[in-house]
Chain A
């Protein structure tokens, strides 16, 4: 397994397009908060930016994770690397799970890097503020790993079914943007049925607003706390669906004639 993972890492290191996309995404994570926070007369607090744009921050991370997984799991079908691995004596189980684990570990790493760039930029520009409790924000960020696991499993499944990295990237991006639009249609209680919905649940900070008489200004607060059932829902649904798609992808690959 280690050898396959090392080979994949080597390939990724040499993949200039992927690094270019990573660089562009990082730039967008810096310019996004800068533009939004400086737009208003009064500088927006960092926590308010996170509360309002938490989902957008994670969007970019998800896009990169999608590209990364498609490249790791789907790329080697196109140049027949997987055929040679099979001929070289690696079992299908090793080929499948080594790629999955590498996708998962790298995705978590890049997800943290990409989202933290936006968070740090926002806090440096506007300070933290009183809008959100930092402790609960950290809990939510930690929980993001679970829907991320689920999304990666779904992308892995898709890669092994389609066997073409570019088609997976295209289809995944389409589903992703359709999901962004669809998230508003999904009732709060049913968010756990979709991977993006679960991610949305973690970045939805339940705003509550009051207002002033003088100038009729809005004061908006956000509730970052999560109750036990929400946390259980995020972890449970992500694990169940994630493992299901991981198993399904494995079953497809196990019985499939990769020619």
Chain B
């Protein structure tokens, strides 16, 4: 857009000079056709504006181009020359305004919020299920976008969108920032400063240091992975945990697992940290800021806690003689739509493993980002017990109201919807002889949730993880803006009784079972952060051994 504006200004200036020269030439001609050239700047400007949108700061250029149109109908050479001169002055003025105005090419964040909000309000399928207070959200967030408008601040607008999305506690509601630079700035502002460590809450409630950077001030002061942190900037850490929302999860327990992460980002140029050293001694140290916290925090989550097996999607890994792991990063297989080729391949591979004496299977769904329900169905049928199984039901959509038809609402606010067609699959019981463990984490979402939900009902399957799976499984829609994209749940899946499939309601209790919740303890911290090993995989193997 900026390039287009530069072209627009440059072209108008060149044309003004050219038309100034032409002023006398056109006068000598009987025909007015030559004077049609005075229309050229206006037409060029019109095309550029139509493609790259109107910009208030460029008004001078547009007006100057429009003025030249009168050159076509004026008789006097002098008048045409004056018009060219004035047009050039306007172009220069615009150039100055564009260079120095903070409002140049800024977006209308409040208007975008209103349109995005209205679309989501109309089509978000879990409004009743999650008891969304739309009016409250509108009143809370509109002023933030108006502030961003006044300040022409895209970072503030992006933060407002991110926080707005967090309010829904739905893994499918999120805001993606287009510009990487803006994204980095927004997250830096949201998540604070890096002092060389992260903080996590153990299952026993203690808050400990993790991801401690060796050689940092924290490390030199004696803070190690697993060191208990008792206070941060003079405030007991128990009081700080959860005060700043780091992430939003559908299941409350999952959110609590990550909430202590925000503590280690709090502070200014320095942070005062109280911790218990390896000697058992209580120490206080002042740490200097070494960067932004977001990068360290994401490394901690993505590269350590939530990291699954480092192999490709749908690739097998032999863990030992009797066990194999299938990595499921997402629920898609090339560009295939009916997944029959994938099903055949997997069947052959599983039969081959069976022939080799493998009895234990691990389906690694950690951080599975979802995909096609059809894909899930084709894998489920291989391991499901023989017979017909219900996957889920479609809800009935009313085109007139543009909403799914509600069947009943009880006094406690529970909603049931009218049930539509049922999706079923035939189980092949390919692994009835052995055990299956499904590894999940809080970022196992959407079709990943579907898989965990359905498979948890099979007698030989154990769902295992530090946390429940995400608990957000409806179809996704989106609203796009020039600078980002808002996604939300827009297609509804049901259980047989018309209740919402998988997604948690306003009580935020997990629906997808977690058969074995692995405690996040000092042993887990040591294995994950010091040894760099896969703790959950180790626990899965222990489980097979029982």
Contact = CB atoms under 8 A, between A and B. Distances in A.
A205 to B, nearest CB: 13
B52 A190 contact: yes
Given A212-B394, A213-B391, A186 B50 contact: yes
Interface in B215-231: none
15 contacts: A130-B399, A130-B400, A187-B52, A187-B53, A190-B49, A193-B49, A193-B50, A193-B54, A208-B123, A210-B475, A213-B392, A213-B423, A214-B423, A216-B373, A216-B374
B285 interface: no
Cβ-closest 6 pairs across A and B: A130-B399, A193-B50, A214-B421, A210-B491, A251-B73, A212-B394
A131 interface: yes
Contacts of B402: 208, 221
B33 interface: yes
Nearest to A130: B399
* Residue of B50, B73, B399, B493 with most chain A CB atoms under a 10 A cut-off: B50
B102 to A, nearest CB: 21
B436 to A, nearest CB: 24
A255 interface: yes
A213 B394 contact: yes
B51 interface: yes
Given A193-B54, A213-B373, A216-B373, 6 more contacts: A182-B51, A208-B477, A213-B392, A213-B394, A251-B72, A251-B73
Contacts of A213: 373, 391-394, 423, 493
Contact of A216 (B36, B52, B372): B372
Contacts of A182: 50-51
A13 interface: no
B31 A256 contact: yes
A193 B50 CA distance: 5
B448 interface: no
A42 interface: no
Interface of A: 130-131, 161, 182, 185-187, 189-191, 193-194, 197, 208-214, 216, 219, 221, 248, 251-252, 255-257
B51 A210 contact: no
B490 interface: yes
Interface string B233-277: 000000000000000000000000000000000000000000000
Contacts of A208: 119, 123, 402, 477
Contacts of B493: 213
A189 B423 contact: no
B34 to A, nearest CB: 12
A95 to B, nearest CB: 17
A197 B54 CA distance: 14
Contacts of B393: 213
A248 B72 CA distance: 9
B427 interface: no
B420 interface: yes
Interface in B92-120: 119
Nearest to A209: B477
Interface string B334-377: 00000000000000000000000000000000000000111000
